[in-house]
Structure formats: C-alpha cells, structure tokens
Amino acid sequence: MQISEKIFEKEFEGKNQKDAYLKCCKWIASNVIAINNARNIMYHIEKVGGTFSGKVKVIFYVYADETEVFDHTCEVCREASSLFYMSGEKHKCESCKINPYRNRLQERLKLLKDGMKGVVLK
C-alpha cells in the first residue's frame, strides 16, 4: 500500500484536448522524468472543464511505502521507550494506536478496490 500527499498542480491549455495533453506530457518528460526526480513521485492527468475545452491539469503526489513508514514508527517508539524505561522490552505495542489506524485504512482501500472491479479492473 502507498501513502501519498498532493504537492503540486499545473494546468495546460491548447487548441484542443489532444494538444493540451501533448504539452502536458512534454512538460512532465522534460521537467520531472529527465532530471531523475521521479523516484517517489506519481502524477494524475485529468480534463478541466468540458470535453472541448482544450485544457488538462496534472496533479503531482509524493508517496512512500506504508510498511516503511510504520516500521520506522515502531523503531522510534522502541528507541524512545528504552530511553525512558532503561529496558528495550518495555514498549507497549498492544496499546499503540497505529494498528487500528492501519486496519481502517486497509479496509477502506479494500472497499474502494472492490467497488472498482466492475468498472476499471476487467
């Protein structure tokens, strides 16, 4: 699972939808991918206005792997509890609030994925 946050948004305008889309792709290729800046970046291109508007918008997100984030949180918790209690085994994983949050997030994503099966994932 990926955790992401919106970082940037840019609109492109052309004489038609195709022209705006090609300008957008060219900008992404030269400003994001070519400078090797796309390791933890994903983007989404969408139409702006109606079908014949000739505008598209690209939205950039920075993302991290969920397991990496939660494992780091557990390491920090263990380290902090060992400093306070002078013992490495005194951390309280059973009372941690991260696991219920993780379960709710995974359940929400599963519901979204199940709802998309008939539409996109054929």
Q: Which amino acid is at 38?
A: A
For residue 37, the model assigns a pLDDT of: 63
Distance CA 56, CA 19 (A): 10
Q: Which amino acid is at 57?
A: K
pTM of this prediction exceeds 0.85: no
For residue 98, the model assigns a pLDDT of: 73
What are the per-10-residue average pLDDT scores of the chain (122 residues)? 81 93 93 75 88 87 76 75 59 69 74 60 36
- What strand order describes the sheet that includes 2-13? 2-13, 55-65, 41-47
